[in-house]
Amino acid sequence: MPGSNLTRIEAEERKAVIEAPIHYHVDLDLTVGAKNFGSKSFICFNAKPGSSTFLDLIADEVTSIDLNGKSLDPAVAFQDNRIELTDLKEKNEVTVEARCRYSNTGEGLHRSVDPSDGNIYLYSQFEVPDARRVYAVFDQPDLKATFDFKVLAPDSWIVTSNMPVATIEDDPRETLDGTLGDKPNESTRLWDFEPTPVMSSYLTAICAGPYAEWHTEYLNEDGRTVPMAQYCRQSLAKAFAKDVDYLFDITKKGFAFYAKTWGVPYPYAKFDQIYVPEYNAGAMENIGMVTIRDSYVFESKVTDALAERRVVTVLHELAHMWFGDYVTMKWWNDLWLNESFAEFTSTLATAEATEWHDAWATFCSGEKSWALRQDQLPTTHPIVAPINDLNDTYVNFDGITYAKGASVLKQLAFYVGRTQFFEGIHNYLNRHAYSNATLADLLSELEKTSGRDLKAWSAKWLEESGINTIATGLTVNADGTIAELKLTQSAPAEHPVLRPHRLAVGFYNEDAATGKIVRTEQFELDVDGETTIVEAAAGKPRPAFVLVNDDDLTYTKIRFDAESQAFAEANLHRFDDALARAVTWLAFWDMTRDGEFPAERFVDMTLRLLATETESTTFRYALACMSTTAHHYVAPARRDDVLRHVAAELWTLANAAEAGSDTQFQLVTAYLGYGEEGDAAFAANAHGLLDGTVRLEGLEIDNNFTWTIVQALTSVNEMTNDDVDAQLAKKETTENREFAYGARASMATAEAKEWAWDQALHNDELTNSQLEAVARGFSATPRPDLAEPFAAKYFETVDWVWANKTYHMAEALLNGLYPGYADPATLVKLGDAWLDEHIAADNALKRLIVENVASSHRTLKVREYNEAL
């Protein structure tokens, strides 16, 4: 398949032709207009004489191609986003000059204009394969090369890249007309960067604009002084300045933790972190210059969960400097190893090197719940997923690649021993430094250090799909002691593999002095096969609660014995340990969405937990899952009553919460999501919060929270488009424009939904973030009557979206516009019919649709369970 979707076979064939060394000289001209930029690539590479291959390039125009001194006709050589190279020599030189396009979709070289001051900011995003949107390149991870970058930019801008600046020269050629720079007739400067080490093209990066900047340095463990910098938009500089020292400190703690844990000092010349607007992901591990979404610059109050997530994100990207950058996958089938390892070790570093000591509870509630959901979809796949082409890669940035993989690596470290695990990582990094490696290379090193045969382990854990369930069974003697504690492992019929687990079983009882539920004993053991007896438990007094997978050491679903389940349902809010609460709550949520635990009892249990829960991420996910349960899983006849009950309880809890606390903030935010048109009390509370006539002590109505209230009011038709426009006029910023789009789209009228649908699909001027805000607002109104008209329309539009949008925008549209509040039976019927008619569709497209339709299948099944109670 030619064009932008590179297949694995094509990549292997190109790798067989192209030989090291490969070197790029890339010149970018950012002064030619608001739509395009100039790109020139001069590439030196070796090849098999007489062979042919191709370069990747997505460009509006290719003006010249020169191969080994011979000029090629671009109209002939440049087709389907590829440049054909034939009759190669042993040593080759190719020069490509092109005019490429800035994006507003967060792909390639993104251009953003800040409406608050008119400043223009550029940043690159090249994963999976979007370096080709900026320069001609062999864009696959195993064709590592060295790179020289030169960038011509307006004089008032700064330019950053992977390496330190070598020189900055005034450029006398032409002055600008003011369309790019901040000043009329602005002169230009040429930024020349030091050559990079050997690296993959998707890790190269360029950022440019009048960014605010802060600098410090780190004394590296190898004796080098590593320059460090942080950047953000000028309009965010005042807010960011409050956090810069803290973020530098977190990063330095990460440097020290990783160097000590792996025995490999930070390998690169510098380390920058640049917070950029309208970013599709959380962050990207470009070598020496990490890009991070600037919603992590906190101008308004945020939850502790988000503040902790920022720390984990910083440490996640820093971990990639070793795992993913220093040693890189050969092909995208090992993407999971990059992401899982960074997710596992960043959580470990957060828990052990920062003040966020409950990071593993955060991981369980947030990341692991994502993994469990993903792993129970029809689209589940092995951790080592088959990646046949780039489209397969796009859809594998998922809960299995990140969260399940991280859980399994946590299990692997416990299985082989932490010391042996990290000794193996040390050897792996040193053996494959600056090159590409595979999972087999890693397992080989871990086998040497641990003495365990990991081939069978890998076959079951990494190469098979699905998740196991471990259920607890107790036989108790007449005197109350345990006769037998039995663990029974099962697997779903479609993925019938039983895995070996190294785990812990915890006994929990009430502490008479405090009234808290605390762990009183713990047993570590190996679980393998269908049945395992916990021998050490025999003769012990039966505890109030038995928790299999105590400390969350393995990846599994769990089911309790009847007495333990009843005790936990009544007393979860009294559990003293944050991780034990998270593991237990996740099991109840899993039972609820499997149709094994009544939805209304889950709602009431969650409300009790919210009265005392202190771990912010568990709190956040408990609120979210309770909302899903109340809106989708309860019996339809009971839905309205349950929603009103939840709203009333949330408002009561919010008024009782500590003034200014994270708990208060989350509760009020959640309450504002339960508005109902015609509910006078809700409207009065929301209007009162906005105008100050309703006050909760310590609750600050700052910019972002104001927009939360505005959207709550638009969603029940208590504010108009004119009201939204007036609110935006008070402070028009990048973020507030997105909030305004979301507020307009969330209005509970048919006209508003039609407008949002049309804007999301057809307004090409929307940025990626604005498009996502419109889509979220469109689907956020929990009214079946407003969603129903779009059920058939959605499936009629799918093919057009896939054919006309980039992958990231197609994903945002097909997920964001799915009318999930429509009748699930209708969605299931239409969705199954679409899938039957599109057997030959691209796998990546089918996967997006399958997952949305699967959520409707589950809703239907769980509703039926609750209706039958």
Specify whether the CB–CB gap between 468 and 498 falls below 8 A: yes
Strand partners, 67: 70, 94
68: region left, alpha or beta (phi > 0 left; psi from -120 to 50 alpha)? left
pLDDT at residue 182 above 60?
no
| Res 3: pLDDT | 56
Fold match flag (1-210 vs 468-554+556-588): yes
* CA-based nearest residue to 485, from 422, 556, 550: 550
Specify whether the CB–CB gap between 846 and 831 falls below 8 A: no
| Res 430: pLDDT | 97
Mean pLDDT, rounded, for 413-442:
95
- Write the DSSP string, 284-314: E--TTEEEEEGGGS-SS---HHHHHHHHHHH
> What is the enclosing helix (H) or strand (E) of 471?
strand 469-476
| Res 1: pLDDT | 29
| Res 395: pLDDT | 87
- At 197-253, the pLDDT tens digits run 999 999 999 999 999 999 999 999 999 999 999 999 999 999 999 999 999 999 999
pLDDT at residue 175 above 50?
no
pLDDT at residue 410 above 80?
yes
Structure tokens at 521: 């004993």
Burial class (CB in 10 A: 0-12, 13-18, 19+), 10: middle
Read off the pLDDT band of 396 (50, 70, 90).
Answer: confident
Catalytic (active site) residue 317: yes
- At 284-328, the pLDDT tens digits run 999 999 999 999 999 999 999 999 999 999 999 999 999 999 999
Give buried/exposed letters for 434-470 (b at 16+ CB in 10 A, else e): eebbbbebbbbbbbebbebebeebbeebbebbbbbbb
Instruction: Please give the share of the chain, as a percent, with pLDDT higher than 90.
Output: 96
pLDDT at residue 2 above 80?
no
853/843 Cα distance (integer angstroms): 15
Q: Given the structure tokens 């109209």, which residue do they identify?
A: 75
| Res 363: pLDDT | 97
- At 727-737, the pLDDT tens digits run 999 999 999 99
Is beta strand 212-219 parallel, antiparallel or unpaired with respect to 271-276?
unpaired
| Res 172: pLDDT | 59
- At 604-662, the pLDDT tens digits run 999 999 999 999 999 999 999 999 999 999 999 999 999 999 999 999 999 999 999 99
Contacts of 70 (CB under 8 A, 6+ apart): none
Mean pLDDT, rounded, for 174-195:
69
533/527 Cα distance (integer angstroms): 9
Burial class (CB in 10 A: 0-12, 13-18, 19+), 322: buried
Domain residue spans in the chain? 1-210, 327-461, 468-554+556-588
pLDDT at residue 181 above 80?
no
Specify whether the CB–CB gap between 685 and 668 falls below 8 A: no
| Res 670: pLDDT | 98
Query: Residue 816, Cα to own-chain centre: how many angstroms?
Result: 16
Cis peptide preceding 159, ω within 30 of 0: no
pLDDT at residue 178 above 90?
no
- Write the DSSP string, 162-185: SS-EEEEEEE-S----SSSSSSTT
Read off the pLDDT band of 4 (50, 70, 90).
Answer: confident
Q: What is the CATH number of domain 1-210?
A: 2.60.40.1730
| Res 180: pLDDT | 47
Read off the pLDDT band of 184 (50, 70, 90).
Answer: low
Q: Which CATH number fits domain 468-554+556-588: 3.90.550.10, 2.60.40.1910, 3.40.50.300, 3.40.1710.10?
A: 2.60.40.1910
In 3-state terms, what secondary structure has residue 206?
strand
Instruction: Please give the share of the chain, as a percent, with pLDDT higher than 70.
Output: 98
The catalytic residue among 317, 343, 613, 615 is 317
Global pTM reads 0.96
Read off the pLDDT band of 185 (50, 70, 90).
Answer: low
* CA-based nearest residue to 85, from 137, 9, 25: 137
Burial class (CB in 10 A: 0-12, 13-18, 19+), 678: exposed
92/83 Cα distance (integer angstroms): 15
- At 256-282, the pLDDT tens digits run 999 999 999 999 999 999 999 999 999
150/166 Cα distance (integer angstroms): 10
Residue type, 89: K
- At 495-534, the pLDDT tens digits run 999 999 999 999 999 999 999 999 999 999 999 999 999 9
Structural domain 327-461, CATH architecture: Orthogonal Bundle (1.10)
103/123 Cα distance (integer angstroms): 10
85: region left, alpha or beta (phi > 0 left; psi from -120 to 50 alpha)? beta
Mean pLDDT, rounded, for 671-694:
97
